[in-house]
Structure 1
C-alpha cells in the first residue's frame, strides 16, 4: 500500500498538469457578498455568527490534520486552513459523492477554475478561511480535489450530530 501511495505521490508531484492551475496560482480573492445557497451539507455562514474556529493543516504528504471533525447541527464553524506544504492545496466541503465527481473532473480539466463558499484554495505557506453553517445532520466529507491529491488520499470526514429537539417519554 505504501509503495502505491508513494508512487502516486511521486507521479502527482511530477505531473505538469498538477502545477498549471492550482499549484502555483491562487484563485483571485472573492469579490462581493457570498452567495448563500443551501447544499446537502449546509450553507455559507456569517463570520460574525461563528460558534467556534477549527484549524486544519494541509501538507504535502497528502493529509489533513485533523482528518475527522465533529460538529453539532446548526453550528457555524470558521475553518482556518493552513497549507504547510510547498504546493497548492485546497479544502473543499461536500458529500463524498460530490467530491468524487469533482475530483474526476479536476483530473480531466486541471485548469478548471472554481470558487464556491465551501472551497478554500491555499497557496504554499498561506492560510485560507471558510465559514460554514452545518444546518443538516449527517456524515460529510472534505478533500483536496487538485488532480492527484484526492487520489493519494487527501480526504477527511465531518460528522454533524443531530440536535435533539426534545424527547418524548414512552
Structure 2
C-alpha cells in the first residue's frame, strides 16, 4: 500500500515538473493574453477555390483570433489537423454556438463565419486544405507556419 502511494506521488510530481515550465513560458493564463486578429476567406464570391490568404504565419505562445468567412456559394472546410494538434484552442464561435476543446476541421457553409481563438504551442509548418471533394485537387490548399 505504501509503495502504491509513493508511485502515485512520483507520477504527480513528474507531471508538475513537465507542465509548470510550459505554463511559465507562455504566461500564467493563456486566455488573458491580448488577441491578434487574422482574417481568412474560404473561396471567393466569383467561385475561386482558394484560401485568401493561403499562407498563414503565427508565433508560438501568442493568442490569435482566426476569423474565417465563406463568401462563396458552396461550403468549404478549413482542415489543418496537425496545426490544431500543435495549438491550444480556447474556443470557436460559430453562429450562436461556442465550442470548446480540440478542433481539427471547421465547415463553413455559404455566407457563414466562424471565429477560432487559439494559441500555437509547437513551431513548424503545417498543411491546410479544403476536404470537400475536388477542392484540394483544384488548389484549395495552403500552409500554416508557427515560428518559435
TM-score (norm. length: structure 2): 0.59
Q: In the alignment, what sits opposite 1:80?
A: 67
Q: In the alignment, what sits opposite 1:155?
A: 141
Q: Unpaired segments of 5 or more residues in structure 2? A: 1-29, 84-101
- Structure 1 residue 49: deviation in Å? 4.5
The structure with the larger Rg is 2
8 Å contact 2:128–2:142 — kept in the other structure?
A: yes
1:18-167 matches, within 5 Å, as 49=33, 51-59=35-43, 60-95=47-82, 117-162=103-148
The number of residues matched between the two structures is: 100
Q: Comparing both chains, which one has the higher relative contact order based on Cα–Cα distances under 8 Å and sequence gaps of 6 or more?
A: 1
**SS of alignment partner, residue 85 of structure 1:** coil
Q: Aligned equivalents of 2:109 and 2:121: distance in 1? A: 29
- Give the superposed CA RMSD: 2.5
- Structure 1 residue 48: deviation in Å? 5.8
